[in-house]
Structure 1
């Protein structure tokens, strides 16, 4: 169930290895970087290229467009369309 009035915003995110992957898919995930409007506890749904270590090493930071949304019964997360451009942040 999407949040209808939630706008897309730019956010800096990073790839990381979570402490536990229980209930998650794959060993590498994406989260917002600390110090922004979004909690670092939020998961980010985005292009799978960002979690491919052959393309980007774990720990790489990206600037992407995201929208806060939710899925019925699963809580909030950030969504970014997989086909949008991605900017690598140094």
Structure 2
């Protein structure tokens, strides 16, 4: 369920290996980098290509357009439409 007053904005995120993958899909995930407008513990739902180490090495940083949202019965996360352009940050 989307949060009504949240707007899309740009955020730098990175791919990483979580300490535990219990309840998660796949070994690589995306999170905001420290110092961004969002806490680094939030997960990011985005294009699965960004989590593919054959395309982007783990630790690659990206600039995405994201929105804070939540799921009924679950916690908050950031959402970025999978079809939007992605900028790799050096």
Write the mapping of 1:8-19 to structure 2, written as runs, cut at 5 A. 8-19=8-19
TM-score (norm 1): 0.98
| Structure 1 residue ranges, 4+ long, deviating more than 2 angstroms after superposition | none
Write the mapping of 1:7-86 to structure 2, written as runs, cut at 5 A. 7-86=7-86
**Runs of at least 5 residues in structure 2 that lack an aligned partner in the other structure:** none
Aligned pair count reads 90
1: CA distance between counterparts of 2:20 and 2:54?
A: 22
**Runs of at least 5 residues in structure 1 that lack an aligned partner in the other structure:** none
1: CA distance between counterparts of 2:86 and 2:4?
A: 24
Aligned-pair distance for 1:37?
Answer: 1.2
Question: RMSD of the alignment, in Å?
Answer: 0.5
